[in-house]
Amino acid sequence: MTDHHQDPDQLRHERRDERRHVRVAMPFHVRLGDGHVVKGHDLSLGGFSAETSMHFERDREIPVALMLAASGIEFALPAMARPRREMGEGRRQCIAFEFTQMEPRQRDILRRVIRAQMSGRHVSLDGLVDQQDSQTPRKRQGNVATPATKPKRRVPMFRYLALLVAAGVLMVTVAATVYRNVFLIEPSFAAVTAPRTDILAPGAGQLKDLDLKAGDRVERDQPLIDVDNAELQNDLLLSQASFDYNERLIENLQQSLDNAGNSKVSVATSSNPSGGELGYETLPPAIARTRVEQFETARDYESSRIDAYKARVSANTIYSPCDCEVAWALSAAGGTYVNEGDRVMTLVSTHDNDVMVEALVHMDDIGDIENHQQAYIALPNASEPIPARVRSVALDVERQPRAGFPDWVRQQQNVASVLLVPEAPLPASAVGTPVDVRFTEAPMLDTAAEWSYQAGRAMFQGVQSLWGRAADGMTQGLKSAMN
């Protein structure tokens, strides 16, 4: 046996009646039952020694916890131990403890730690959870019985059939895509459109509240906008005042002529209260009657002006020309000032026969397109194409204003406008949506290619959607685990 003061690099042994195992010196700490943490000196499967000056009753069990480090992480091994003897003096005093109770799993971890220390390796978490011990000798191959070979599991035939069907669908989809993009006529741009009606401001003024916004439905003859023209209202009031003034002058002068006989009467010098200075003069009855005729002429003139002003005021209220949908509105709140001719609202006719598809086709391909020719329309995220017929081919794309088509696209050179009437009605909400259009020349072959392409695209979109949901679920699970 070796005592405590020999070379620490050599193996040291205790009496077999104390710990009965090889002990190793390694860095560790011990948390005693009262909570004190002391520095460990050496360690074995049977016990340990720790540097402490505390006094313990001999053979009295106390709870302890070995605090070991592995891969930068400190972990504790709980156990029950009792002190056996004291070694050394002063600050270097050590007390040897013997384990009396320890869980099998804790003891196995302690055994791995000790063996790793004896083999000169660092203790790691991977080594602690590995099923193979670093000191376990390898068994010879000759002593290991060769397990019986398991019979191969037979793969069902439907798997091969499913694989062949998937390969066939992929080949058909690829062939349809190539044929569709190479042989079919493709426009440079296409979108769902509808007839457009622009509502312009009839005059300058402020818009009144009508609470109309994009997406609202309006009926024919329903008020759309009302422009409050303050200058026009002032002109109407002045004309009304001038008319009333002349009407009163005529009545007073006629009454004066009836009562005066051949005497002179007092007559106003002007029929316009807003022009010149107002005054009166005394005139003979003949001249006064002539002045009455002048006042009547001025009254009739003001009456005509009143009618004109009222017509202009009524024209400031614009009514809906059709049963349409509001595609755009300048403002839903009143108080917005507009000038004459400003666009304040856009209406779209959304009847079944009005919602069509407009496509811009290059002049090199326009010769292969005829009226009533069949075409296919593919809406975004649609699972099947929509058959359509060519309604008209025109070079003047601005002949009929249509909503849903950007103006900058219409400025392209060497293109013609082709209107397509879908066989299935398109929803009004699709106006302005870009679509994919293909014109057919061989209906049977082109139809098969189009349906194959759309089926393949629908399958790809379905797989992509499922993959996105799975990825989102995995992300949410990781976030929940981290939290």
- In the structure encoding, which two tokens stand for residue 320, read together? 């809906």
* Count of C-beta atoms within a 10 Å radius of residue 350: 22
Q: Residue 240: CB partners within 8 Å, gap ≥ 6?
A: 302, 306
pLDDT value at residue 4: 44
- Residues 310 and 345: their CA atoms lie apart, in Å, by 24
**Domains of the chain (ranges plus CATH)?**
29-133 (2.40.10.220), 177-193+349-465 (2.40.30.170), 196-227+319-345 (2.40.50.100), 231-315 (no CATH)
The pLDDT-based confidence of 16 (bands split at 50, 70, 90) is very low
Give tens-digit pLDDT for 60-111. 888 999 888 877 778 888 999 988 888 877 667 888 888 888 888 888 888 8
Q: Residue 256: CB partners within 8 Å, gap ≥ 6?
A: 265, 266, 288
pLDDT: which is higher, 321 or 20: 321
Bridge partner residues of 306 (DSSP): none
At CA 183, angle to CA 181 and CA 185, rounded to 5? 80
Give the distance, in angstroms, between the CA of residue 61 and the centroid of all CA atoms in the same chain.
Answer: 66
Return mean pLDDT, the chain. 75
Give tens-digit pLDDT for 115-174. 888 877 777 766 666 555 555 545 444 444 445 555 566 656 767 677 777 776 666 666
Judge whether 348 and 431 are in contact, CB under 8 Å. Answer: yes
- Residues 411 and 360: their CA atoms lie apart, in Å, by 11
- Residues 396 and 424: their CA atoms lie apart, in Å, by 27
pLDDT value at residue 317: 84
At CA 236, angle to CA 231 and CA 237, rounded to 5? 100
Please report, rounded to a whole number, the percentage of residues in the chain having pLDDT higher than 70: 70
CA dihedral 130, 131, 134, 136 (to 10 degrees): 180
- In the structure encoding, which two tokens stand for residue 481, read together? 């685990």
Instruction: With a cut of 80, say whether residue 249 has pLDDT above it.
Output: no
Judge whether 437 and 373 are in contact, CB under 8 Å. Answer: no
Give tens-digit pLDDT for 343-391. 888 888 887 678 889 888 888 888 778 888 888 888 887 767 888 888 8
Judge whether 456 and 176 are in contact, CB under 8 Å. Answer: yes
pLDDT: which is higher, 192 or 483: 192
- Residues 48 and 12: their CA atoms lie apart, in Å, by 12
**325 to each of 334, 336, 348, how far by Cα in Å?**
21, 22, 5
Whether the pTM exceeds 0.85: the reply is no
Which sign, positive or negative, has the C-alpha torsion 187, 191, 192, 196? negative
Helix (H) or strand (E) holding 224: strand 223-228
Helix (H) or strand (E) holding 314: helix 285-315
The pLDDT-based confidence of 456 (bands split at 50, 70, 90) is low
pLDDT value at residue 339: 85
Give tens-digit pLDDT for 32-41. 877 888 888 8
pLDDT value at residue 443: 56
The pLDDT-based confidence of 5 (bands split at 50, 70, 90) is very low
Judge whether 461 and 173 are in contact, CB under 8 Å. Answer: no
Judge whether 3 and 11 are in contact, CB under 8 Å. Answer: no
Closest to 379 in 3D by CA, of 338, 341, 429: 429
Instruction: With a cut of 70, say whether residue 256 has pLDDT above it.
Output: yes
Instruction: With a cut of 80, say whether residue 3 has pLDDT above it.
Output: no
Give tens-digit pLDDT for 257-289. 777 666 777 766 666 665 555 666 676 777 777
- Residues 463 and 455: their CA atoms lie apart, in Å, by 12
Bridge partner residues of 377 (DSSP): 386, 437
- Residues 426 and 357: their CA atoms lie apart, in Å, by 9
Q: Which residue bears the tokens 């790809």?
A: 460
pLDDT value at residue 431: 86
Residue 480 main-chain phi, psi, to 5 deg:
-65, -40
In the DSSP assignment, the letter for residue 269 is: S
Q: Which residue bears the tokens 């592995």?
A: 70
Give tens-digit pLDDT for 189-223. 889 988 888 888 888 888 876 778 887 888 888 88
SS3 131: coil
SS3 82: strand
Instruction: With a cut of 60, say whether residue 426 has pLDDT above it.
Output: yes
pLDDT value at residue 444: 54
Q: Which residue bears the tokens 């099998």?
A: 104
- In the structure encoding, which two tokens stand for residue 348, read together? 């779209």
